[in-house]
């Protein structure tokens, strides 16, 4: 059985469902050792697979040498854990695969040159040690312009456990939003939207240290939004079914929100989706089952009408295109080459 060492920033977390979903399915076919280079930042998050936390690079090297993996895998093209993964690959003479996300790719062109690959990383990504990088389709261009050979770039949709969320039964009537409480998510605009539609239930499931400040802002507006505690991924299907709409907000100036996995999860659960028009690729991710908006006025008008049944039906099939079972082989085919 092929052996894979996972090097991740921290595991488990409420927000990084890409990692947990991928791991849950990868462990069905591969022997996996999961190493988080920092402790989980949240309490109460259940891990889908066993893991260890090890902050010392030398001990990580010793553990990985003992495990003797055939391949090393990581998420994100930046961070201390990426540095460690590169070191493991070169010192242990093992190939590396990477699943890029959105922020690490979008920052390459949104930071006006302040963020870029180091010469060491660029040389590594061009070398034979780098088996391949899975990236969202819109990430191919930025990564190629940053010096990564296009031959190593594999377009891939976000990882979604479609079967966990697929439910065509009737939905509730609420409106929801979810994600890390970061500036790029622009949750204050979601509060503003809710304040313009009194009598409609708006829910928010935020994560991170800035949530308390957001609660204060919500109170100053008369508490138009029910701000909930983070919900484990296994329990999110029930949360989605309480709502009719997912309104995903994003800061237009930063424009570093990528393709949120919650969009596909919501569509698989029967919800309509609204996302801001921050880049041309957003329309591709939302697909025929949602709306891309330029202003909150548009969203108010959309939410005043029932979600069209034809779009709801299209949403189930559009979300299925992101199913982990469909595109995990893009990654595991690289591992099997080894």
> Are 21 and 106 within one domain?
yes
> Are 204 and 185 within one domain?
yes
> Are 125 and 270 within one domain?
no
Q: Is the pLDDT of residue 320 over 90?
A: yes
Share of the chain above pLDDT 90, in %: 81
> Are 58 and 138 within one domain?
yes
Q: What is the pLDDT of residues 41-63, one digit of tens each?
A: 776 678 889 999 999 999 999 99
Burial of 128: CB neighbours in 10 Å, binned 0-12, 13-18, 19+:
exposed
> Are 211 and 149 within one domain?
no
> Are 186 and 268 within one domain?
yes
> Are 275 and 137 within one domain?
no
Q: Supply the pLDDT for residue 212.
A: 95
pTM: 0.94
Query: What are the residues whose beta carbons fall under 8 Å from the beta carbon of 52, sequence distance 6 or more?
Result: 33, 34, 35, 36, 63
Q: Is the pLDDT of residue 109 over 80?
A: no
Q: What is the 3-state secondary structure (H, E, C) of the chain?
A: CCEEEEEECCCCCCCCHHHHHHHHHHCCCCEEEEEECCCCCCCCCCCCCCCEECCCHHHHHHHHHHHCCCEEEEECCCCHHHHHHHHHHHHHCCCEEEECCCHHHHHHHHCCCCCCCCHHHHHHHHCCCEEEEEECHHHHHHHHHCCCCHHHEEECCCCECHHHHCCCCCCCCEEEEEEECCHHHCHHHHHHHHHCCCCCCEEEEEECCCHHHHHHHHHHCCCCEEECCCCCHHHHHHHHHCEEEEECCCCCCCCCCCCCHHHHHHHHCCCEEEEECCCCHHHHHHHHHEEEECCHHHHHHHHCCCCCHHHHHHHHHHHHCCEHHHHHHHHHHHHHHC
> Are 214 and 103 within one domain?
no
> Are 142 and 277 within one domain?
no
Q: For residues 312 and 318, what is the distance between their CA atoms, to the nearest angstrom?
A: 10
Number of domains within the chain: 2
> Are 131 and 195 within one domain?
no
Mean pLDDT in residue range 266-272: 98
Stretch among 82-86, 104-108, 181-185, 191-195 having the lowest mean pLDDT: 104-108
> Are 103 and 173 within one domain?
no
> Are 25 and 150 within one domain?
yes
Which domain CATH number covers 263?
Answer: 3.40.50.2000
Average confidence score pLDDT of the chain: 94
Residue 111 lies in domain: 3-159+324-337
């Amino acid at each position: 059985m092929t052996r894979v060492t996972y090097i991740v920033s921290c595991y488990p977390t409420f927000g990084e469902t890409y990692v947990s979903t991928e791991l849950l399915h990868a462990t069905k076919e591969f022997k996996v050792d999961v190493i988080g280079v920092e402790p989980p930042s949240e309490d109460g998050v259940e891990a889908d697979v066993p893991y260890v936390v090890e902050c010392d690079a030398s001990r990580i090297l010793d553990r990985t040498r003992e495990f003797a993996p055939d391949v090393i895998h990581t998420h994100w093209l930046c961070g201390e854990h990426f540095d460690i993964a590169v070191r493991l690959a070169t010192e242990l003479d093992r190939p590396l695969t990477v699943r890029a996300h959105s922020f690490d790719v979008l920052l390459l062109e949104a930071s006006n040159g302040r963020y870029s690959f180091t010469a060491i990383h660029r040389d590594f990504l061009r070398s034979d040690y780098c088996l391949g990088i899975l990236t969202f389709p819109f990430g191919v261009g930025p990564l190629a312009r940053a010096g990564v050979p296009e031959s190593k770039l594999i377009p891939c949709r976000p990882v979604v456990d479609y079967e966990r969320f697929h439910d065509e039964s009737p939905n509730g009537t609420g409106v929801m939003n979810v994600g890390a409480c970061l500036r790029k998510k622009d949750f204050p605009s979601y509060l503003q939207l809710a304040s313009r539609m009194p009598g409609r239930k708006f829910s928010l499931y935020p994560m991170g240290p800035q949530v308390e400040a957001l609660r204060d802002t919500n109170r100053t507006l008369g508490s138009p939004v029910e701000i909930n505690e983070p919900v484990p991924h296994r329990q999110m299907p029930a949360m989605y079914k309480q709502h009719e709409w997912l309104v995903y907000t994003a800061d237009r100036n930063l424009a570093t929100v990528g393709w949120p996995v919650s969009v596909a999860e919501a569509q698989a659960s029967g919800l309509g989706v609204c996302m801001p028009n921050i880049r041309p690729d957003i329309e591709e991710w939302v697909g025929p089952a949602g709306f891309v908006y330029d202003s909150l006025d548009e969203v108010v008008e959309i939410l005043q009408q029932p979600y069209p049944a034809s779009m709801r039906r299209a949403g189930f099939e559009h979300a299925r295109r992101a199913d982990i079972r469909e595109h995990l082989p893009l990654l595991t085919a690289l591992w099997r080459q080894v």
